[in-house]
């Protein structure tokens, strides 16, 4: 039996909690609190510590998903959550270019924690203002060997596709390193 820990990170309100809720087979353990401060009032609740979900791929493989908080004041959780991860997803709100710089920064921070595979998921592709993945790749300066995948976090199939792509990258890496 193999267990794989993946982290879902990204800027405030990118859709991280939604992403994990769409796919987890257990009720997601979420630590959301109501938002009281004004600039973040674009939604009701925000993650303050983590989200936790689980997916059984088959009898030999279970994925554990950890979602990070997006708001700056909870960033102390990031390094704790990254402990032991085998890969991560950087989730981006494709319709809010003002968050792209922060997304790039988060990507760098997580790359610094561990040299694991990662993918970029261009979320909210159902929004009329969403940037296309090719444009996002340029804006965020993502190199060609990193996957930038379209995503709609409310759609389970879309979330599954992103996680499978990350899983393939992780398994490739394990093969390359000769890990059983
Ligand atoms: N249209 C659309 N809305 C989405 C999508 N994914 C998430 N949302 C909405 O975006 C808002 C933010 O989603 P959350 O899952 O709370 O985002 P988060 O990244 O966990 O936010 P923090 O924990 O506060 O950093 C919610 O209102 C979601 O319903 C999507 O793919 N399309
Ligand atoms: Mg959240």
| Ligand found nearest the CA of 34 | 1
Residue 50 pLDDT exceeds 70: yes
pLDDT for position 178: 75
Is the minimum distance from the CB of 50 to ligand 1 under 6 angstroms?
no
DSSP classification of residue 132 = P
- How many angstroms separate the alpha carbon of residue 74 from the centre of ligand 2? 11
pTM assigned to the model = 0.96
Q: Which residue's CA is the closest to the ligand 1 atom numbered 10?
A: 15
Based on C-alpha coordinates, what's the Rg of the chain? 15
pLDDT > 90 fraction of the chain, expressed in percent and rounded: 83
Mean pLDDT of 126-142: 98
Distance from the alpha carbon of residue 16 to the mean position of ligand 1, in angstroms? 6
pLDDT of residue 73: 87
| Average confidence score pLDDT of the chain | 94
Residue 179 pLDDT exceeds 80: no
**pLDDT tens-place string over residues 18-41:** 999 999 999 999 999 998 887 787
Ligand 2 centroid to Cα of residue 44, in Å, is 11
**Statement: residue 122 has pLDDT above 90:** yes
CB of 158 shorter than 6 A to ligand 1: no
- Under DSSP, the state recorded for 144 is T
Would you state the pLDDT for residue 97? 98
> Which residue reads 């990031």 in tokens?
78
More confident residue, 7 or 48: 7
Rounded Cα gap, residues 62 and 155, in angstroms: 21
- For ligand 1, atom 7, which residue shows the shortest CA distance? 15
Residue 123 alpha carbon to ligand 1 centre in Å: 9
Ligand 1, pocket-test mutation among 10, 11, 12, 15, most atoms within 8 A of CB: 15
Section 131-160 average pLDDT: 97
The sign of the dihedral angle between the CA atoms of 146, 48, 14, 6 is positive
Per-residue pLDDT at 180: 58
- Looking at residue 137, its pLDDT comes to 98
Provide the pLDDT for residue 59.
92
């Amino acid at each position: 039996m193999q267990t794989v820990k993946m982290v879902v990170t990204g800027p405030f309100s990118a859709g991280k909690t939604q992403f994990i809720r769409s796919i987890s087979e257990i009720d997601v353990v979420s630590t959301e609190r109501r938002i009281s401060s004004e600039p973040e009032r674009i939604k009701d609740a925000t993650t303050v510590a983590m989200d936790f979900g689980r997916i059984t791929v088959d009898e030999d493989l279970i994925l554990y998903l950890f979602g990070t908080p997006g708001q700056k004041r909870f960033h102390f959780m990031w390094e704790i959550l990254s402990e032991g991860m085998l890969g991560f997803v950087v989730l981006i709100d494709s319709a809010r270019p003002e968050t792209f710089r922060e997304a790039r920064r988060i990507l760098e921070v997580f790359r610094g924690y561990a040299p694991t595979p990662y993918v970029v998921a261009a979320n909210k592709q159902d929004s009329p203002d969403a940037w296309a993945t090719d444009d996002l790749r340029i804006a965020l300066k993502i190199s060609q060997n990193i996957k930038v995948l379209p995503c709609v976090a409310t759609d389970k199939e879309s979330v599954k596709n992103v996680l499978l792509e990350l899983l393939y990258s992780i398994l490739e890496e394990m093969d390359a390193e000769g890990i059983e």
